[in-house]
Amino acid sequence: MNNEITIDDLDFELLIDNDQIQKSIRLIGIDINMKYEDKLPIFIGVLNGCFMFMADLLKQVTIPCEMSFVKLSSYHGTAQQDVKELLGLEMDLRGRHIIIVEDIIDTGNSLKHTMKALEKLEVQSIAVCTLLIKPESMEHEFDNILYTGFEIEKEFVVGYGLDYNGMCRNLMHIYKHVPRDEEEHV
């Protein structure tokens, strides 16, 4: 296993290896299987980053369930902020139990938009399952983040679905950026 990698002159070191990731996913899967045993949940993965996590998670889910993927689209309007729209949802969610699957929750802005869009569809419940969360970066309060793989510091991470300029999603481990001496003094 390679503990250090360089991408476009940025250095990264191993943060979480795949064995740790898989152990955490197994535990999350056991909990979901028990809690949603008779509820036929719908797992909704937020693309692009969730694809590896969601694939491995659903291998651990042994109860009947459905799945779909969505993508957030940003539009620059006249206001200073982005308006986000949920794209790709083509199933009736009214009265259903939803489990949003995220790769990482940083500020929580994207999750907030995803939840608002789903709540408009009159779902019965929404739970959030995320591989990574950065508690120090959170700008919103959520009471339904029920499943978290790992809490991490405010650091830039890649691998296992997380990208840097579209690259590194395919890495099986998660790496964190390590500033070089000259980067720290800038």
**Which member of 106, 143, 163, 181 is catalytic?**
106
Instruction: Give one DSSP letter per residue of 69-137, joined into a string.
Output: EEEEEEEE-SSSSEEEEEE---S--TT-EEEEEEEEESSSHHHHHHHHHHHTTT-SEEEEEEEEE-GGG
Q: What letters, b where the CB count within 10 A reaches 16 and e where it falls short, cover 3-24?
A: eebebeebebeebbebeebeeb
Q: Is 31 a catalytic residue?
A: no
Residues classed as catalytic? 106
